Amino acid sequence: KKSQAWSALFSEPMSDLVKRYTASVFFDQRLWRADIAGSLAHAEMLAAQGIISAADWADIQRGMAQIRSEIESGAFEWKLDLEDVHLNIEARLTQLVGDAGKRLHTGRSRNDQVATDVRLWLRDEIDAIGALLEELQRALVDVAAEHVDTIMPGYTHLQVAQPVSFAHHLLAYVEMFARDAERLADARRRTNRLPLGSAALAGTTYPLDRARVARTLGMVDERGEPQLCQNSLDGVSDRDFAIEFTAAASLCMVHISRLSEELILWMSQNFGFVQIADRFTTGSSIMPQKKNPDVPELARGKTGRVVGHLMGLITLMKGQPLAYNKDNQEDKEPLFDTVDTLKDTLRIFAEMIGGQLNPATGRKEGGIRVHAVAMEEAARKGYATATDLADYLVKKGLPFRDAHETVAHAVKAAQSHACDLSELPLSVLQAFHPAIGPDVYDVLSLRGSLDVRRTLGGTAPEQVRAQIERHRQRLG
């Protein structure tokens, strides 16, 4: 009995091991919506071009509608023998509507079919990820808006450097996620191109209307122009769009991972800057006092997994001769897992930072809790305003290098008294330079330090407010 699409030529069946080794149906079945959409667009065009009859087209539509409802209800029987999502759906179609089902594959190969499916599926996932990225950015901007005047130590080398506002710090992540969204939107443009019509590798003899199929599938640019793969060999064989997407996803995860690392540090008792809601933490089975930041830790860990997928995909491509090779079946699991991991992570971070909407109050609750006092106390340690004293001396006429050296002496003196620069009496400060006057104490205050960093993109509250406004306009 014939169980495979190409059986006539084969003198022996596949062993069970080889069947399992070569089959993809257990993971690629998630492409079913894209597969049906691609098949319907192809069949509609075949009918419009007179390649199949109107009756065949009607049968195909009817059969696909039934298959769709079978899959949705879980009644569809996926068969390992039929290898992949494409052959499973086509076989069922033929079972349901007979010859029309057998005509569907006219002018098409699984090679251009699978490339189309993956592109359609990924395009829609990129859109979903874009929406989640906006949600996360909004959550960060909302928390930032509350903390324009919350002062924390800014670090370089994880050593206290200069004071910044917590809002300013959060907005740095908003910039990163905004660029991630740009990268994904750019990858989407190259993903949303139609391989169908490439057939197995060389194109096809049938008078296909590729542009029509592209339009049906929404594979068009901003001006509505159909986007077609322009070389059939390339159309069936490259997966650069998937690699590019995974690279953008990896960068996004790296940004999440940096944020995670900071949350984990900030939650440590030695910082005590923030808390996240209990539902994002776990306890310890031995230490009763523990509340561990599992979610940020896992996100940091899962970043490795996504970066691993990028390495997997890019390595998958490197030795392949033109055109299609079965190697490409291995693109799916890493790509699917990348999408799943990124979506879950973005969703969970938006809620962990921004909280959950309480329908009763119409407000978001249970987001990140910020301990402004602990942040400000930490900013008082480590001579965060030493640069401000140097700048003050420059304004009094000292060359910057001399001012830098003078302040280094003052810091050393403060260290030996175990106090802050602002706690040194004026007479002591004046011993370092006679130009220092009583107005120095404004300069040495954290707030004073923040207020004067007014360059565009700086940490001064007026600048930070302007950035929040810009992001709010952009995010709608």
Binding-site ranges for ligand ARG (CB under 6 A): 24, 28, 84, 110-111, 114, 324, 326, 328-329
Query: Minimal distance in Å, beta carbon 250 to ligand ARG?
Result: 22
Question: Dihedral, CA atoms, 194, 195, 197, 199, nearest 10 degrees?
Answer: -160
Query: Minimal distance in Å, beta carbon 457 to ligand ARG?
Result: 46
Query: Minimal distance in Å, beta carbon 324 to ligand ARG?
Result: 6
Sign of CA dihedral 171, 176, 180, 185: positive
Q: What is the phi/psi pair of residue 315, to 5°?
A: -75, -35
Q: What DSSP string describes 57-97?
A: HHHHHHHHHHHHHHHHHT-----GGG-SHHHHHHHHHHHHH
Contact 366, 355 (CB under 8 A): yes
Q: Distance (Å, rounded) from C-alpha 242 to C-alpha 39?
A: 21
Structure tokens at 339: 């999408």
- The residues, any chain, with a CB within 8 Å of residue 233's CB and separated by 6 or more, are 198, 201, 202, 322, 323
Active-site annotation holder among 7, 53, 268, 284? 284
Question: Among residues 199 and 350, whose Cβ is nearest to ligand ARG?
Answer: 199
Structure tokens at 458: 């700086």
Residue 409 is a catalytic residue:
no
Question: Among residues 180 and 337, whose Cβ is nearest to ligand ARG?
Answer: 337
Question: Among residues 261 and 333, whose Cβ is nearest to ligand ARG?
Answer: 333
Question: Among residues 241 and 324, whose Cβ is nearest to ligand ARG?
Answer: 324
Q: What DSSP string describes 388-445?
A: HHHHHHHHTT--HHHHHHHHHHHHHHHHHTTS-GGGS-HHHHHHH-TT--TTHHHHHS
Task: Name which of 351, 370, 412 is nearest 266 in CA terms.
Answer: 370
Question: Among residues 115 and 368, whose Cβ is nearest to ligand ARG?
Answer: 115
- Residue 16, CA distances (Å) to 83, 177, 202, 421 in order: 12, 46, 33, 77
Q: Distance (Å, rounded) from C-alpha 358 to C-alpha 55?
A: 53
Question: Among residues 328 and 345, whose Cβ is nearest to ligand ARG?
Answer: 328
Question: Among residues 78 and 271, whose Cβ is nearest to ligand ARG?
Answer: 78
- Residue 41, CA distances (Å) to 47, 53, 209 in order: 10, 15, 11
Structure tokens at 326: 């079965």
Question: Among residues 44 and 331, whose Cβ is nearest to ligand ARG?
Answer: 331
Query: Minimal distance in Å, beta carbon 119 to ligand ARG?
Result: 13
Question: Among residues 114 and 407, whose Cβ is nearest to ligand ARG?
Answer: 114
Task: Name which of 353, 312, 306 is nearest 331 in CA terms.
Answer: 312
Task: Name which of 181, 342, 346, 169 is nearest 262 in CA terms.
Answer: 169
Q: Distance (Å, rounded) from C-alpha 147 to C-alpha 170?
A: 9
Query: Minimal distance in Å, beta carbon 71 to ligand ARG?
Result: 17
Surface-to-core class of residue 352, CB atoms within 10 Å of its CB (0-12 exposed, 13-18 middle, 19+ buried): buried
Residue 371 is a catalytic residue:
no
Three-state SS string over 455-475 comes to: CCCCCCHHHHHHHHHHHHHHH
Percentage helix, strand, coil for the chain under 3-state DSSP, each rounded to 5: 65, 5, 30
Task: Name which of 29, 39, 33, 36 is nearest 85 in CA terms.
Answer: 29
- The residues, any chain, with a CB within 8 Å of residue 394's CB and separated by 6 or more, are 400, 403
Which active-site residues does the annotation give? 157, 284
